[in-house]
Amino acid sequence: MTSAATTATAPKLADRMRAIVGPTNVLASPSDLVVYECDGFTIEKNKPDVVVFPTSTEQIVAIVKACGELGVPFVPRGAGTSLAGGCLPIGGGVMIALTRMKRILEVNYRDRYAIIEPGVVNLWLTNHIKPNGYHFAPDPSSQGACTIGGNVATNSGGPHTLKYGVTVNHVLGVELVLPDGRVVQTGGPHEDNPGYDLTGVIVGSEGTFGVATKAWVRITRNPEAYRTLLGVFESVDDATNTISEIIGAGIIPGALELLDSLILQAVEAAFRFGFPLDAGAVLIMEVDGLDAGLDQDAERIVEIAKRNNAREVRRANTEAERLLLWKSRKQAFGAVGRLAPSYCTQDGVVPRTKLPEILRFIRAVGTKYNIRIANVFHAGDGNIHPILLFDERDADQVKRVLGASHEILDECIRLGGSVTGEHGIGVEKIDFMPKLFSPEDLAMMVRLRSAFNPENRCSPQKMLPTAGACIEQSKAGRHAAM
């Protein structure tokens, strides 16, 4: 295990980094470093010794080699929107910030791919190719800020994953700088390269295999048209039954988002869309694709919703109405501020048919811990995002939020699901890994990591629990982040 730079070695480290990337691309003063002590997961904090902003693969090679010589760890960082603490510099060392490698290197429409540097922000790529009728399919709610390098590392999802898949389904190849400074290219624009699908395991490795310095990504043609429906239900059960039946009827909607009554109140106060405040739940149901087939699908959806006791099914009749509806959904988290001073979003998954069960459980947990919980989530693929409302100034509430979160995630496991559908394990959920996986499963994951990162110098102590080297996890409120 490598150790952090000491106060004696830190200046030397900074000098080495300046020599590689130039003085304007290094931060080393305590006041600058504070910004980098955590990402979107704010409970655990630790400052890196140095932050470097390389502008080329060659510089990254030199940086990781220097880290090797000096025996310090390093951690890659994109925009720092991780909600799992993936960017936490455990043991200090060098943080490699990729935000200055932000060029779109090539877009090839005929062959449907783009080559990008890791610091390109997700939405930039989509905006860049939009005039030609294309987009980059993975669309996390953070897409205006997060980088594609970060998406690749965390295998990000978004509202459209049900139909279009997650990041890994859209990554064709990666250039990776390994911790010893060797550079590999896995995959590329050609399909079916012989050999192991290393690209497939690099995606989602949460920065523990090396630094991704380039990615070949699939670009997708935009749907020609949409039909956007809003189903109003008396109960959450009716809404979730509707979801199962739509999919059971062979329709794969572009999006299926559920909002419960508590979140509706907040969203309505913020956007005045006209949501019915006495409804048990509403479903945003959107089918997309060729204009020709959409009315047929939309009619069947209306029929199914009605059969499941929908009070009414509204249609977004204009593009403006559709956009307002989506704005209400995408900014729902922002509206939650109206409900409580603090909130904590969890990310769990259950099989789609278990949604009624998990939602009943969440209600019961809320009552048990006396915590209000709002729900707004990607219902189509069973990916729940319960939002636990509290006041972080009240230590007892914080404790109750933690207890409730853990019970919900444990229940996801019991129902045959997972503790993370898109945000990742990072440091936040490392304790759940032994609950999801056997020692043998974890041992094979360690074997895999050791092929890439044998000394565990690249982002140590993430994702896989390390016997005897656990980080301090007793801090109250470590899950109460958002």
Ligand X SMILES: Cc1cc2nc3c(=O)[nH]c(=O)nc-3n(C[C@H](O)[C@H](O)[C@H](O)COP(=O)(O)OP(=O)(O)OC[C@H]3O[C@@H](n4cnc5c(N)ncnc54)[C@H](O)[C@@H]3O)c2cc1C
In terms of CB distance, is 190 or 315 closer to other proteins?
190
Smallest distance, Å, CB 158 to ligand X?
5
Does residue number 239 form part of the binding site for other proteins (CB under 8 A)?
Answer: no
Does residue number 468 form part of the binding site for other proteins (CB under 8 A)?
Answer: no
d(CA 329, CA 482): 17
Does residue number 244 form part of the binding site for other proteins (CB under 8 A)?
Answer: yes
Query: What type of residue is 429?
Result: K
Structure tokens at 358: 């998990």
**Interface map 278-307 toward other proteins (x if CB under 8 A):** -----------xx-xx-xxx----------
Q: Which of 28, 362, 425, 427 binds other proteins (CB under 8 A)?
A: 425
Does residue number 419 form part of the binding site for other proteins (CB under 8 A)?
Answer: yes
Does residue number 196 form part of the binding site for other proteins (CB under 8 A)?
Answer: yes
In terms of CB distance, is 339 or 482 closer to other proteins?
482
Alpha helices in 187-308 (DSSP H): 198-202, 236-248, 261-271, 291-307
**471 in Cβ contact with 461 (< 8 Å):** yes
Smallest distance, Å, CB 21 to ligand X?
16
Q: Using CB distances below 5 to 8 A depending on partner kind, what does residue 308 bind out of other proteins, ligand X, none?
A: none
Q: Using CB distances below 5 to 8 A depending on partner kind, what does residue 231 bind out of other proteins, ligand X, none?
A: none
In terms of CB distance, is 156 or 397 closer to other proteins?
156
In terms of CB distance, is 147 or 397 closer to ligand X?
147
| Chain positions contacting ligand X, by CB under 6 A | 39-40, 75-83, 86-87, 98, 118, 140-142, 146-147, 149-151, 153-154, 156-158, 206-207, 211-212, 333, 422-423, 459
d(CA 342, CA 391): 5
Smallest distance, Å, CB 201 to ligand X?
13
Alpha helices in 331-394 (DSSP H): 332-335, 355-369
**479 in Cβ contact with 428 (< 8 Å):** yes
E strands present in 337-390: 342-345, 348-349, 372-378, 383-384, 386-390
Q: How many CB atoms lie within 10 A of CB 388?
A: 28
Q: Name the phi and psi angles at 453, rounded to 5.
A: -135, 65
In terms of CB distance, is 49 or 206 closer to ligand X?
206
In terms of CB distance, is 187 or 280 closer to ligand X?
187
Quick one: which of 73, 68, 69, 56 has its CA closest to 20? 56
Does residue number 194 form part of the binding site for other proteins (CB under 8 A)?
Answer: yes
In terms of CB distance, is 32 or 299 closer to ligand X?
32
Number of residues in the chain: 482
Q: How many CB atoms lie within 10 A of CB 394?
A: 13
